[in-house]
Amino acid sequence: MPQNRYFYYDHEACTFVEVQPGRNRWVARAGVAALLVAALATTGVLYFSDAVTTPHELAQREEIEALRVELAGANTRLTSFSDELSDLARTDRELYRTVLNAEPISEDEFQMGVGGAADHRFDRFSAPTSQLLRRSTETLDRLERQIMLQTRSYEEIMRLARDREEELSEQPAILPIRGGRLTSGFGMRYHPILHTTRMHTGVDFPTPLGTPIYATGAGTISYAGDRAGYGHVLEIDHALVGRRTRYAHLSRMAEGIRPGQRVHRGQLVAFSGNTGLSTAPHLHYEVRALNGDGSDRPIDPVATFVPGVGAREYQRLVAAARAETISFD
């Protein structure tokens, strides 16, 4: 298409002269053209950047999605661990601490700190990512608190269990001789030597001279020697359970047995005899409750035999204790 040409009339030359475009005009036209090209290029880049993704960007997106999935799975497992710890805490409260007579850990203490101040560290991320990170952080914090508290609880339970085990070891609980037969029970009895009715503060086991005598519970020997009426006598204090056991009419103490010595349940401590006010070889055995002032009082030893004998043997011992049987002292 032919371009338009412009002329003006030159009065001096009396002719028409063609108008020539100036340099500024050409510069202006070039600037406008450049701006149009830049605008079109920018629009194209923005359009194609949204429409076209590079392989590197695709890999990054896949990696981010994979990490998000793994984080969600880890959060699910952490939540499961937290629930299992809550179950252990319930067992702790309802079983272990009940058995050991310990103060339970309250649910508020176990869940302490849950639902605290909001965490704004992840606000700059997208909503799904920030929500997932915040939930995972809260689960980790709760799990850490639960583990610390449960660890302290089990340490306390272990300590209480050790103390209880030590107490149980001191409880008089077995027969002082093996295969013993009880012939005189606890209570008012006729004394064959003194010929009077008096309190029989223990039980008697007839046995040949020199029969081994065993400690019925762990404890400390508080006396080993002669005592009026009892002959050679051995006493063991079981301080943790407030008991004292007495073994009387002995022939001799076992080797190494002396006051202040620590003995364990079932340890050989003496041998049976016929010393003191005794009409025949036998073991007189007492269990005494310790009072706070250092004194003691006798209790029926048969009640302490339950853990050490079977049901049938226990019934036989009870029947023998109630019957008017032979008294040796």
Which tokens hold the place of 260?
A: 């202040």
d(CA 155, CA 39): 73
Are 187 and 199 in contact by the 8 Å Cβ rule? The answer is yes
Domain boundaries defined on the chain:
7-51, 63-170, 187-322
Instruction: Give the Cα separation of 261 and 220 in Å (integer).
Output: 6
pLDDT digits (tens, 9 = 90+) for 270-290: 999 999 988 889 999 999 999
Residue ranges in the chain whose pLDDT is less than 70: 1-13, 16-53, 93-120, 122-123, 180, 184-199, 306-329
| pLDDT tens-digit map of 182-233 | 776 655 565 565 556 666 788 888 899 999 999 999 999 999 999 988 999 9
The span from the CA of 320 to the CA of 323, in Å, is 5
pLDDT of residue 210: 95
Return the bridge partners of 227, or none.
231
For position 295, what pLDDT does the model report?
A: 83
Which is the CATH superfamily of the domain at 187-322? Glucose Permease (Domain IIA) (2.70.70.10)
pLDDT given at position 324: 43
Residues 6+ apart with CB under 8 A from 159: none
Q: What pLDDT shows up at residue 35?
A: 61
- Determine the pLDDT at residue 172: 92
Short-list 193, 64, 88, 65, CA closest to 143: 88
> What per-residue confidence (pLDDT) applies to 248?
95
Contact criterion met (CB below 8 Å) for 281 and 273: yes
DSSP-derived 3-state class of residue 95:
helix
Distances 236 to 131, 153, 186, 187, 215 between C-alpha atoms, Å: 67, 35, 19, 22, 8
* Residue with tokens 């079109």, as numbered in its chain: 40
Backbone dihedral angles phi then psi of residue 215, each to the nearest 5 degrees: -65, 130
**Beta bridge mates, 245:** 236, 287
- What are the angstrom distances between the C-alpha of 144 and each of 80, 81, 152, 317? 14, 11, 13, 56
